[in-house]
Amino acid sequence: MPIATAQKYLDEAELFMENGLCEEAIEAYKNAIETDPSFISAYYNLAVIYHRTQQFYYAITCLKKAIELDPGDASAFNNLGVLYFTINVFDEAKKYFEKSLSIEPDYKEAKNNLEKVQRKLQMIQPQSFKQSAEAGSNNKRLKIGFVSIWFERGQSYVTKTLRDVIAKNHETFVFARTGGVFGQPKLEVQGHWDIPNLTTHPDYQISPDVLTGWIQDNNLDMVIFNEEYDWNLVMAAKASAKILTYLDYYKEDWKPYMSLYDAVLCSTKRTFNLVNGICNAHYIGWGIDTDLFKPRDDGDGKYTFFHNAGWLGINYRKMTPAVILAFEAVSRHLSDATLFVHAQTELEKLPPEVVNIVNNNPRITYHIATVPAPGLYHKGRILVFPSKLEGLGLPLLEGMACGLPAIATDAPPMNEFVRNDCNGLLVKVAERVARGDGISFPEEIVDVNDLAFKMHFLAKNPELIHKMQQNARNGINTYYDLNKRVNEIIHIVRSEHPHIGTISVSKPNIPTFHTALKDEDIICKCN
């Protein structure tokens, strides 16, 4: 009998779950559903395990099916709200918590969850930070200084983008220097890099008196460093102004000095979790200028895949050889697939076998150019970004802001921004390699076969590409708009107690399925 067989699969799945065999449990639940398409508990429990394995799109799909079969289940609506909360879609979360309470008005967990999501929605409103700042201080224009390198590198682009947004409402100054260990490149002060109040310095090393002189001459209210680890400079600057740092990476030997900063602005949850508790850390959820990086009506979208290779440094950190190898495999099965590689270094810098592939595959375009923001993202329809190591992953955010779904490494911080099956696809990590330079994050090397599979799968599904394109842009617009982040930063600057009013990234006190707090407490339906 089908029902009996379906129950057998459900029992098998529960046994797999008890033993931590997630993939086997998923298959057993699927077998139960295939045997009995109306088996509500199987859909429900499959959603649970998809939630545990962070496959949120599938979890949501399963819960919606369970609700379709039983629209009076308050717990299913509550859990659907939890899933949307997990992926930061707070309006949808609120809707489902309210629906749960309309069915069961005394549902304690749903009540608590609704309160929490309402507070979250209040915190992310742009006006909330403006109002808080106005309450704590006047609204005068501030004089804000930035200390950074100043040429074609991601670190510089982060500083410049932040400066450009802040400059809309405040007076800004930049102390620019060379890039130190990166071959002492020439400072770029023409065109894109030529801005008002720019002070250049011919060397990476700065004497403290030079820096404090710059601060005092310009009467700066605050200075934002871009990952400064010359602690002499930090101490010197601290005597003259409020000092902050923007932090992507972290080394353990920085720990004793992090508290020197009035505030540490963490772009990712990974970095925040490392330094929270040892300094006045804030998760800002860094973003980009969504007015600059946006979909373009005139973007040709000519190429199936777009890959930003950069300067091919640090052992091919962007995994450019893997991208080309994966595409070579994909192109054998998709006759119309194309790849555009935007690089700043000659093709010959790649391994010989990869150079040979590029030279012999007419559907690969290797383009060398230094292009100011917003770059060349509009050349492609899908961003391929299997990077080994990122502090922020700036090209990832930029590409998604331009409306490209991303195929990215299933590792922090990439999987902070890319939600599998929502705004992109995540690629399995095959190997983790510790860094030799003290950076606290390992290099995460993707499985090339899985990369090829994900590229092939997405290229064959134009409807999914379209949905992900919309989700990519909407997600950036909602949660990673730098204009909103600036409100938070300015509030930190003005506040006598900078920690007040910022968004915490400690694990949200919001339940998973049926429970009040923790993932490990998820309860399944047994019948």
- Mean pLDDT of the chain, nearest integer: 83
134 versus 8: the higher-pLDDT residue is 8
Write out pLDDT tens, residues 304-343: 999 999 888 778 999 999 999 999 999 999 999 999 999 9
Reply yes or no on whether the pLDDT at 75 is more than 50: yes
Rounded to 10 degrees, the C-alpha dihedral 404/410/416/421 comes to: 50
Among the residue ranges 118-132, 301-315, 431-445, the one predicted with the least confidence is 118-132
Judge whether 357 and 325 are in contact, CB under 8 Å.
yes
What is the spatial distance between Cα 218 and Cα 212, in angstroms, rounded to a whole number? 10
139 versus 391: the higher-pLDDT residue is 391
Among the residue ranges 138-147, 410-419, 452-461, the one predicted with the least confidence is 138-147
527 versus 311: the higher-pLDDT residue is 311
Q: How confident is the model at residue 231 (pLDDT cuts 50, 70, 90)?
A: confident
Judge whether 242 and 493 are in contact, CB under 8 Å.
yes
67 versus 32: the higher-pLDDT residue is 67
| Strand 443-446, strand 429-433: pairing | antiparallel
54 versus 284: the higher-pLDDT residue is 284
Q: How far, CA to CA in Å, does 163 sit from each of 96, 486, 502?
A: 39, 10, 20
Q: Give the start-end residues of each E strand in 242-346.
A: 242-247, 263-266, 281-283, 303-310, 339-343
Reply yes or no on whether the pLDDT at 47 is more than 50: yes
The percentage of residues in the chain with a pLDDT greater than 90, rounded to a whole number, is 43
What's the length of the chain? Answer: 527
Tokens of residue 469, six digits: 């394109």
Classify residue 418 by its DSSP letter: P
What is the spatial distance between Cα 30 and Cα 46, in angstroms, rounded to a whole number? 8
Judge whether 384 and 305 are in contact, CB under 8 Å.
yes
Reply yes or no on whether the pLDDT at 111 is more than 50: yes
Classify residue 122 by its DSSP letter: H
Helices (H), ranges, 36-107: 40-52, 56-69, 74-86, 90-103
Among the residue ranges 131-140, 229-238, 320-329, 437-446, the one predicted with the least confidence is 131-140
| Strand 406-409, strand 364-368: pairing | unpaired
What is the spatial distance between Cα 103 and Cα 111, in angstroms, rounded to a whole number? 12
Q: How confident is the model at residue 102 (pLDDT cuts 50, 70, 90)?
A: very high
Reply yes or no on whether the pLDDT at 183 is more than 90: no
Q: How confident is the model at residue 30 (pLDDT cuts 50, 70, 90)?
A: confident
- Say whether pTM exceeds 0.95: no
Closest among 166, 156, 146, 220 to 188, alpha carbons compared = 156
Reply yes or no on whether the pLDDT at 374 is more than 80: yes
Write out pLDDT tens, residues 375-399: 999 999 999 999 999 888 889 999 9
Tokens of residue 362, six digits: 């007419």
Residue range 56-63: mean pLDDT, rounded: 79
Reply yes or no on whether the pLDDT at 437 is more than 90: no
Q: How confident is the model at residue 510 (pLDDT cuts 50, 70, 90)?
A: very low
Q: What is the pLDDT of residue 442?
A: 92
What is the spatial distance between Cα 371 and Cα 368, in angstroms, rounded to a whole number? 9
Judge whether 257 and 238 are in contact, CB under 8 Å.
no
Tokens of residue 237, six digits: 């600057």
* Coil vs helix vs strand at 253: helix
Reply yes or no on whether the pLDDT at 498 is more than 70: no
Among the residue ranges 42-46, 100-104, 460-464, the one predicted with the least confidence is 42-46
Domains of the chain: 2-125 (1.25.40.10), 141-283 (3.40.50.2000), 303-479 (3.40.50.2000)
Q: How far, CA to CA in Å, does 379 sit from each of 47, 265, 320, 383, 461?
A: 37, 33, 17, 10, 19
Residue 384 host element (H or E): strand 380-385
* Coil vs helix vs strand at 117: helix
Residue range 114-121: mean pLDDT, rounded: 87
Q: What is the pLDDT of residue 506?
A: 23
Q: How far, CA to CA in Å, does 312 sit from each of 143, 149, 178, 371, 406?
A: 37, 19, 19, 16, 20
Q: What is the pLDDT of residue 260?
A: 79
Residue range 33-56: mean pLDDT, rounded: 82
Reply yes or no on whether the pLDDT at 180 is more than 90: no
What is the spatial distance between Cα 327 and Cα 154, in angstroms, rounded to a whole number? 25
Reply yes or no on whether the pLDDT at 247 is more than 60: yes
Q: What is the pLDDT of residue 492?
A: 77
Residue range 66-86: mean pLDDT, rounded: 88
Judge whether 223 and 243 are in contact, CB under 8 Å.
yes
Residue range 87-95: mean pLDDT, rounded: 77
Q: How confident is the model at residue 298 (pLDDT cuts 50, 70, 90)?
A: low
What is the spatial distance between Cα 482 and Cα 127, in angstroms, rounded to a whole number? 14
What does the DSSP assignment read for 174-242? EEEE--TTTT-PPP--SGGG--TTEEEESSS---HHHHHHHHHHTT-SEEEEES---HHHHHHHHTTSE
Judge whether 280 and 261 are in contact, CB under 8 Å.
yes
Closest among 88, 229, 249 to 147, alpha carbons compared = 229
Judge whether 397 and 480 are in contact, CB under 8 Å.
yes
